[in-house]
Every structure is written in structure tokens, then in C-alpha cells.
Amino acid sequence: MNEKTTVYIVRHGQTEWNIEHRLQGHQDSPLTELGVNQAKWLGDSLENEKIDVIYSSSSERTMKTAELIRKDREIPIYKSDELKEINLGIWEGRKQEEVKQSHPEQFDHFWNDPELFAVERSETFQQVANRAVHKLNEIIAHHSGKHILIVTHTVVVKVLMAFFEDRPMKQLWELPYIHPTCLSKIVIEEDKAEIVLHGDISHFKE
């Protein structure tokens, strides 16, 4: 019998640095009040859905989001460095406008030709895809037939969904937009993946 595995992929809630348009990467900033609410709204909308296991990036903003979605349910949360955001090297903690001025070509690559992006001490998009997709496949193999929630970051959501869509890296940033706590749902059966939701924010209450 072939088992049906359900994977939910979620971005963390809004953070302080999101509001300031600062690049976070491996660095972190706390969830805003709205970010906390976004995670709670998603938790409310998923409270009657079966979730067997949660995997979160090891960043504080994703762990906090995962805990808020879980609420008081007895679901294990596993931390994973492989689900962390792209390491942005010397850009981390700086405002987007600032790096657009200081590295115009790389800023353009980041958004319009991700395959070419690289700054000092950063990861490439391909390196992120390699580690994140490897972890995804490991999680799916380990929890076959289960309902899995993955809480991660924008670039990781994009590369994981690109994996399911066969989307070329060049088109990575095309819609849908990955809002804070947006929900993607993939159902895997007989090695076929069906995307049921992609970047859904119908749980938002304001």
C-alpha cells in the first residue's frame, strides 16, 4: 500500500528587521506583535488538521513561529540548521537600500538572476537548495505517511517549492509572493507530489 504524506511548508512571522527592510539571513531579530499574531492565526487555522511532527530552522524567529503554531499540542519540534535562511555574508543586518547602493550588480542578481548571486562569505542559492532539498527528502523518507510541518524562511520556501514545481532558478522569485506565515501544502503519493496550496494567507485576520 502506498502511503500519502502531507507536507506543510511555512515561512516565519513578521520580524523587526522585516519592517526595517534589513537582511537577516543567518542573523536574527524578534517577531513583531503582528508576526506573533500571524503565527497564532495559522495555528488557529491548523488546529483541527493532523500534524505529526514539526521541523524548524534553528533560527529563533522560526522556532518561535513553530511553537505558536503548535500551541499546546503534544507535537515534537526538531531544529535543523539545514532549514536556515540563506547566509548573506557581509550583507547581514544591513538595509536593502544600503546594499543596493554598495553592491548594485549583486543586488540585481539576487532578485533577477539568483544563480549568479554571491557576496563575500555568503552562500549561493544553489548551496541553499542543495542543503534544504536534501533535508526535505530526508524528512519525507523518515516520516512517510505522516503529516509534516516545516517552518523556515523565504529563500528556503522558494527553493523547496521550486523543487516540487521543477521551477528553474532563474524564475525563483516569480509569484506567488511568500508572505510571513504563508502556507504551502504538498501531498505526496506514489512519488508524485501535488501542490494543494502555495503561499496561502487565507488565515490572516487583518
Structure confidence at residue 1 (pLDDT): 54
Whether residue 183 lies inside any domain: the answer is: yes
d(CA 96, CA 38): 24
Mark out the alpha helices in the chain (DSSP H runs).
Answer: 16-19, 33-46, 60-70, 96-102, 104-112, 125-142, 154-165
Whether residue 206 lies inside any domain: the answer is: no
| Sequential pLDDT tens for the chain (206 residues) | 568 999 999 999 999 999 999 999 999 999 999 999 999 999 999 999 999 999 999 999 999 999 999 999 999 999 999 999 999 999 999 999 999 999 999 999 999 999 999 999 999 999 999 999 999 999 999 999 999 999 999 999 999 999 999 999 999 999 999 999 999 999 999 989 999 999 999 999 98
Whether residue 205 lies inside any domain: the answer is: no
- The DSSP secondary-structure symbol of 22 reads B
164 lies in which domain range? 4-200
Q: Give the HSE-up count for residue 139: Cα atoms under 13 Å, Cβ half-sphere.
A: 30
Each residue's pLDDT tens digit, 39-91? 999 999 999 999 999 999 999 999 999 999 999 999 999 999 999 999 999 99
Whether residue 83 lies inside any domain: the answer is: yes
**What is the domain count for the chain?**
1
Quick check: is 12 catalytic?
yes
**127, 121 contact by CB (below 8 A):** no
Per annotation, catalytic residue among 82, 85, 92, 123: 85
**153, 84 contact by CB (below 8 A):** yes
Give the angle subtended at the CA of 115 by the CAs of 112 and 118, to the nearest 5°: 95
Structure confidence at residue 191 (pLDDT): 86
Whether residue 62 lies inside any domain: the answer is: yes
The enclosing domain of 138 has a CATH number of: 3.40.50.1240
d(CA 71, CA 73): 6
